Structure 1
């Protein structure tokens, strides 16, 4: 597998790959600041490698940057699932998605492309996680929750059943979401309240 992005998130991705015996060949980055990550060489991405075949994964934590890179690269994207994760056979996962340690994805959940489901998160039955979303560590999404494209659910947040979170929203750490959240909203607190709106 080939990674794009030599950030801190890259280290977590490498750990997942090692947990299931997947070899990372090389890491590319637009502006590499290190020569290696976890002893895997990092090289600057250029037109020389445009035609490079293989399975790729974008190891960038920022949702907007991950979307931009995925559209620019136009590669064959794989996915990585940590060996300790519990994924229902009735769920579905999109290309480019990363599932970290001790995640639970329950029956009939749908997770889109290039998502991050971070350590210890619970995605309950019938949830829909749209492309480029990031579900942070120890988040709990109750049954039937929808998370829109590019939204970031902060560490330890809880979302009640059937709640709809719009696109590119930000849910603060530890927030408890009891009402639907519109596109671009920034929500914090218990109960969650909108404090800002992103463009």
Structure 2
């Protein structure tokens, strides 16, 4: 556990899910941080502009879009907040696995042994990340996706719901693996792949 005071950046659906994880962990969320919804209340919590969060508090960015996550995290870091992590009690994290600051794991997520994850990665409901995978910064693995062992996933990659990335493959930075796709060969950076086997869209 990092800081005692925790803020969730993003007051949309992903933010509410992050609140659920925090509550399951026994953590207290002080408020949501969201410029667009500042002044509202969501699930009984205030929504503040990020500039009102106190320096030294912990935060998680609960937004699926990796580029938005990058910008908001940089802003919060600049304000003196500290990236925290939220791992649901019903998630499984294997031994000898390193989770970067800002990591978010939903219920049913499994991150196997020997995994290295960069900053602000997310593994959603019932998604799996196999042994010895390397996830660069801001990787998002959506519900039900299966990333097999020894896969390398580049910065900002989105692995869609129900997708499969086979053993030993690599997915380049900024690529998108579409929902239900089966990745049987390496995916170049910035490419969107769909289908089984996955091919560029």
- TM class, shorter-chain normalised? over 0.9
Matches within 5 A, 1:33-182: 35-46=40-51, 49=52, 51-74=54-77, 75-182=81-188
What CA deviation, in whole Å up to 9, does each residue of 1:15-74 have, x standing for no partner?
10011100001111121177122211112233xx36533111112221110001111221
Q: Tell me, in whole angstroms, the C-alpha distance in 2 between the residues paired with 1:15 and 1:50.
A: 20
TM-score, normalised by the number of residues in structure 1: 0.93
Which position in structure 1 is the counterpart of 2:25? 20
Q: Distance in 2 between matches of 1:15 and 1:96?
A: 16
| SS, match of residue 47 in structure 2 | strand
Specify the SS of the correspondent of 1:72: helix
**Counterpart position of 1:5:** 10
Q: Counterparts of 1:186 and 1:64 in 2: how far apart (Å)?
A: 16
CA distance in 2, matches of 1:36, 1:96: 24
Q: Distance in 1 between matches of 2:108 and 2:50?
A: 32
Q: What TM-score comes out, normalization by structure 2 length?
A: 0.92
Q: Which runs of 5+ in 1 are unaligned?
A: none
Structure 1 distance, partners of 2:96, 2:111, is 10
CA-atom RMSD in angstroms: 1.3
Could you say what secondary structure the match of 2:73 adopts? helix
1:184 aligns with 2:187: no
